[in-house]
Amino acid sequence: MKAQNLKIKDYCRISNNKVLLNDKLLFEDPTSDFTTFIKLAYKKMDTNYPKFFKMDDLSKLGFLATDILLKPMTQDPEMPKNIALVFSNSASSLQTDRKHQKSITDKENYFPSPAIFVYTLPNICLGEISIKHRLHSENSFFIFNHFNADYLHAYASSLIKTEKADEVLCGWINCDAEDYEAFLYLVSAEGSIAHKKEEIIKLYTTK
């Protein structure tokens, strides 16, 4: 597959209490906080994966956006599963890091939670996704100041060009306090949008 022939097959956005697939609104709940919103979205999307509720907010966000994009593919045993994951954000796992820090600050009341500690790395989110979709593929989680279309474009193109992956799920999953955003897109041989930096920026900035 030549990198210049690659396409963006589908894209998913979760932000501002909305879930969109290819700009089509799948779910909206304007009034709830993130915890309630993501739980309602999970139920609406018929995700059915009880471990979801044990995840931290970053993993919930990445997991749900990925599930919307990959579920139709990974449920089909005939479909190729060499789908690499290339995620990025600016806050890393800061929200969960703060929770963990809070639990270890008071030496008289020192009870760190193992269930929180295991999420003090952003790439744990990729592990959760790989387990659910049975992916044994390449995965990377990059930390940037801002959404970096240039880097994601080059990295995804390289993975496919060098035959490390058949398809690449790329994007931005950021979560800090009540500020959250997921934007994921699937780079593939199929699709109607050209896999170009300008197109990625256009999709990302059209909110």
Binding-site ranges for another protein (CB under 8 A): 39, 50, 53-54, 111-115, 118
Encoded tokens for 21: 């697939």
Q: How far is the CB of 175 from another protein (least distance, A)?
A: 17
Q: How far is the CB of 115 from another protein (least distance, A)?
A: 5
Q: How far is the CB of 94 from another protein (least distance, A)?
A: 21
Q: How far is the CB of 111 from another protein (least distance, A)?
A: 5
- Answer for the pair 14, 182: CB distance below 8 angstroms, yes or no: yes
Give the residue with the Cβ less far from another protein, 54 or 102.
54
Kind of pairing between the strands at 24-28 and 18-21: antiparallel
By the 10 Å C-beta count (0-12 exposed, 13-18 middle, 19+ buried), 123 is classed as middle
CA dist 4 → 149, 190, 197, 199, 203 (Å): 16, 13, 11, 13, 18
d(CA 88, CA 127): 14
Give the residue with the Cβ less far from another protein, 128 or 166.
128
Give the residue with the Cβ less far from another protein, 90 or 103.
103
Give the residue with the Cβ less far from another protein, 35 or 158.
35
Give the residue with the Cβ less far from another protein, 80 or 112.
112
Q: Quick one: CA torsion of 175, 134, 23, 14, rounded to 10 degrees?
A: -20
Q: How far is the CB of 155 from another protein (least distance, A)?
A: 31
d(CA 134, CA 144): 28
Q: How far is the CB of 63 from another protein (least distance, A)?
A: 14
- Answer for the pair 100, 112: CB distance below 8 angstroms, yes or no: yes
Give the residue with the Cβ less far from another protein, 48 or 192.
48
